[in-house]
Amino acid sequence: MNLQNPKKFKMLVDQAHEVALNVLRPISRKYDKAEHAYPKELDMLSSLVDGMNEGGEGMNAGAAGAGKRSEDTTAGNRNGTNMSTALSIIEMCYGDTGLLLSMPRQGLGNSAIAAVANDEQLERFKGTWAAMAITEPNCGSDSAAIRTTAIKDGDDYILNGEKIFVTSGDRADSVVVWATLDKNLGREAIKSFVVAKGTLGMTIERLEHKLGIKASDTAVIRFIDCRVPAENLLGNADIDISKGFAGVMETFDNTRPLVAAMAVGCAKASLERIKEIFRHQLDLTYSTPYLHTSNIAAQIYRMEAEWEAARLLTLKATWMADNKKPNSKEASIAKAKAGRIGNEITLKCVELAASIGYNEDDLLEKWARDSKILDIFEGTQQIQQLIIARRELSKSSSELK
């Protein structure tokens, strides 16, 4: 099969590729070493992305576009904002994943708003830079175990709890916080709230020191009697027992393919570099039978095949989102495949490149470090496989744990 990107996105992809090579790559090592320093070079770039996002329906370059409602109600195939977002993210992470995660107004919190906010909220929060706060000290990939509470008090909700590993938690204008309205109801009562930076009762405790994506700040945030306007609860405030966790999962259905796209982009960078290093051993026409190639060439060809599978699964999940098809299983499949393969490819490329891959003169070792988080956040490999199994076997979370 030779499934090509939609032609209407060619200019967008080409521009993102040029940005990766000429803007992100040159400052990649600088901000890898200067952990927690804000990359000021991204301010102008993010303004350009904002302008591209305003350019028209179906042509979006950042995470804020994913999940955006489409006015196109015509029947047939649609390649819209989810697809264009994933394609641009692949190219940007070909440049640098940490810098992409540091871009103002293009975080996963923005994608969460785009996925579940009502029309009034979409307009009100337009232009905000939103981080996303899900993980808690005793709640990792099991988002249903969230213990941060939101208690209704007049026209406000009062939030209490602690969130960890909040990407852009210190730099963002606001944080999308997941909290439960009733602990006794479990996952059915979990809602997301937009909490503006500086809100009384919200405290940034510390920034984490990490293995990779060092350009991106990762915060621990505590909420103590933090009062948030009720109108900042995203979507519907009613607790729908019949719908269960589905409302919250709408966010993951849009963001997990984006994380898969990040893994695809990061792995693409490593693959191209290793092919450049061993170009004299490779048959660029692929006419040499696999069993007649060198061991190194065979390993590179296998990685290419795995990478292509991850890319196509990612595009399938985003295409389904654009065409309003239920894609929860496909989103998890894409995230599981791309997260695992992306990490395997970047590590194998370091191994094959030997001293070139292990020193800081080349970016191969950095891409290997950056890729690890892409198999962890937005749900670990194990969680994705559990979700896939539940969908395949038609089992509930209580029936298959």
Domain limits of the chain? Answer: 7-124, 130-232, 246-393
Q: What is the pLDDT of residue 57?
A: 52
Q: What is the pLDDT of residue 1?
A: 57
Q: Which residue has the higher pLDDT, 63 or 244?
A: 63
Q: What is the pLDDT of residue 149?
A: 96
Tokens of 187: 């996952």
pLDDT tens string 105-164? 887 888 889 888 999 999 999 989 999 999 999 887 677 789 999 999 999 999 999 999
pLDDT at 64 over 70: no
pLDDT at 67 over 70: no
Q: What is the pLDDT of residue 233?
A: 96
Average pLDDT over residues 195-211: 97
b/e string for 17-50 if b means 16 or more Cβ within 10 A?
bebbeebbbebbeebbeebbeebeebeebbeebb
In angstroms, the CA 60 to CA 56 distance is 8
Average pLDDT over residues 246-271: 89
Q: Which residue has the higher pLDDT, 261 or 398?
A: 261
Contacting residues for 398 by C-beta, under 8 A, at least 6 apart: none
Judged by DSSP in three states, 136 sits in strand
pLDDT at 205 over 70: yes
CATH number of 246-393: 1.20.140.10
Q: Which residue has the higher pLDDT, 354 or 143?
A: 354
Q: What is the pLDDT of residue 187?
A: 77
Q: What is the pLDDT of residue 103?
A: 93
pLDDT tens string 363-378? 999 999 999 999 999 8
Measure CA 286 to chain center: 33
Measure CA 333 to chain center: 14
Average pLDDT over residues 392-396: 93
Phi, psi of 332, rounded to the nearest 5 degrees:
-70, -35
Q: Which residue has the higher pLDDT, 173 or 71?
A: 173
Distance in Å from the first CA to the final CA of the chain: 36
In angstroms, the CA 381 to CA 383 distance is 6
Q: What is the pLDDT of residue 62?
A: 57
Q: Which residue has the higher pLDDT, 62 or 244?
A: 62
| Residues constituting the chain | 401
Tokens of 329: 């299983």
Handedness of CA 386, 388, 394, 397 (dihedral sign): positive
pLDDT grade for 341, boundaries at 50, 70 and 90? very high
Q: What is the pLDDT of residue 145?
A: 81
In angstroms, the CA 32 to CA 166 distance is 18
CATH class of 130-232: mainly beta
Range among 43-57, 232-246, 274-288 rated most confident: 274-288
Task: Look at 86-90, 159-163, 228-232, 240-244 and tell me which has the smallest mean pLDDT.
Answer: 240-244
For domain 7-124, give its CATH number from 3.40.1410.10, 1.10.540.10, 3.30.470.20, 3.40.50.620.
1.10.540.10
Task: Give strand ranges (E) for 50-181.
Answer: 130-133, 149-153, 156-167, 174-180
Q: What is the pLDDT of residue 238?
A: 84
pLDDT at 14 over 60: yes
Average pLDDT over residues 183-197: 89
pLDDT at 72 over 60: no
pLDDT tens string 296-313? 999 999 999 999 999 999
pLDDT grade for 235, boundaries at 50, 70 and 90? confident
Amino acid in position 304? E
pLDDT grade for 89, boundaries at 50, 70 and 90? very high
175 HSE (CA, 13 A, CB side): 31
In angstroms, the CA 322 to CA 320 distance is 5
Orientation angle between helical segments 246-277 and 328-353, nearest 10 degrees: 20
In angstroms, the CA 191 to CA 144 distance is 11
Q: What is the pLDDT of residue 208?
A: 97
Average pLDDT over residues 64-84: 69
pLDDT grade for 186, boundaries at 50, 70 and 90? confident
Average pLDDT over residues 214-236: 96
Write down the mean pLDDT value for the chain.
90
Phi, psi of 67, rounded to the nearest 5 degrees:
85, -5
Active-site residue set:
378
Give this prediction's pTM: 0.93
Amino acid in position 12? L
